[in-house]
Amino acid sequence: MSLSLRSHGTHVEDKVQPVRRSWWRPSQFSETISAYALLSPALVVFFLFFFVPTGFLIYISFFHWGILSSATQFVGLKNFRTLFAQPLFLRSIETSAYYTIVMIPATVMLALAIAMLLREVVTSRRGGVWRAAVFLPHVTPVVATSIIWVWIFNPQFGLANAVLTFLHLPALNWLESVHWALPAVMIDSLWHSLGLYVIVFLAGLANIPRELLEVASLEGASRKHVFRRIILPLLSPTTFFVVILATVNSWQAFSQIYAMTGGPHGGAGGPAFSTTTDSLLTYQTAFIYDHFSLAAAMALILFLIILALTLIQKWVSNRLVFYR
């Protein structure tokens, strides 16, 4: 490869040799081997517990396969056609969508509101105490706290109806009602997960330069305008992250529903399948009714729904999220 330069009538020819990477040298090769050796335990675990199960799930979704049956028959898309012909499966998708649509705005607005209230507190000496108090519900065992919420929503002696009675409002059946069982589960889920999102928003607020807020205050901007024109745009990456995380967690809702709607309330997902989400129906189809192929197809559909929603949110974020 040659390069010719002409300057003031002078011809200069300089041969430029291509840059050759020396990754194959013994020293760098040994470093590469050492790096992969250190990463190998995590890579092996990730491969065995993510890629292998995912590949096997996709495989059995196109077969008639049972854990107790040795016969395996390729059925193509029959499992998917069977699912979309089942009213209960379609209802579970609808329930999951309703759960997600309610949980996402409630999570974002409440977490942001609490984070704004705690923004000044966390910088004080007792900031660690407040952060721990907010985050504590998130690290408590889901099943244990769900049992407590079952007692809170008890229609006879629960705390929720006691509060409603004190406010001169009619008592509700909560977990025994087809209309109020899912909202009761949402309240538990919101209480349990809200601390994580508050901490995330606090971290985002901490990255906003205080100089901008001080200059806006000196210029006479109201708190409302500071929040809308400065805080929200600079907080948009954090908000986008919270929305993605809340979307995935909402579509995968299982633990609270299984713990709160079982037993005397008509079985997990009851009453009358009013709290049966796609994740719960997948579990029941696989481990109660032994239809693993149908359950694999359900899980694959759930994965595609979450992937599609994530891609849509990513597309929206490219136009609304502001990165400094």
Q: Is the peptide bond before 18 cis (omega within 30 degrees of 0)?
A: no
Report DSSP state, residue 49: I
Q: Which long-range contacts (CB under 8 A, 24 or more apart) does 43-46 make?
A: none
d(CA 122, CA 127): 4
Ranges of residues in the chain whose predicted pLDDT is under 70: 1-27, 68-71, 121-127, 263-266, 324
d(CA 59, CA 111): 40
Q: What is the pLDDT of residue 134?
A: 86
SS3 289: coil
pLDDT (tens digit, 9 = 90+) per residue, 39-59? 899 999 989 998 898 899 999
- pTM higher than 0.75: yes
| Burial classification of residue 50, based on how many CB atoms lie within 10 Å of its CB (0-12 exposed, 13-18 middle, 19 or more buried) | exposed
Which amino acid would we find at residue 99? Answer: Y
d(CA 33, CA 127): 45
Q: What is the pLDDT of residue 14?
A: 47
Q: What is the pLDDT of residue 192?
A: 94
d(CA 212, CA 62): 57
Domain coordinates of the chain in residue numbers?
2-60, 85-320
Ranges assigned E (strand) in the chain: 2-7, 10-15, 63-64, 73-74
Q: What is the pLDDT of residue 71?
A: 66
**CATH C-level class of 85-320:** mainly alpha
- Radius of gyration, alpha carbons of the chain: 28
Neighbours of 167 (CB within 10 A): 7
Contact assessment for residue 313 and residue 243, using Cβ atoms and an 8 Å cutoff: yes
pLDDT (tens digit, 9 = 90+) per residue, 237-255? 999 999 999 999 999 999 9
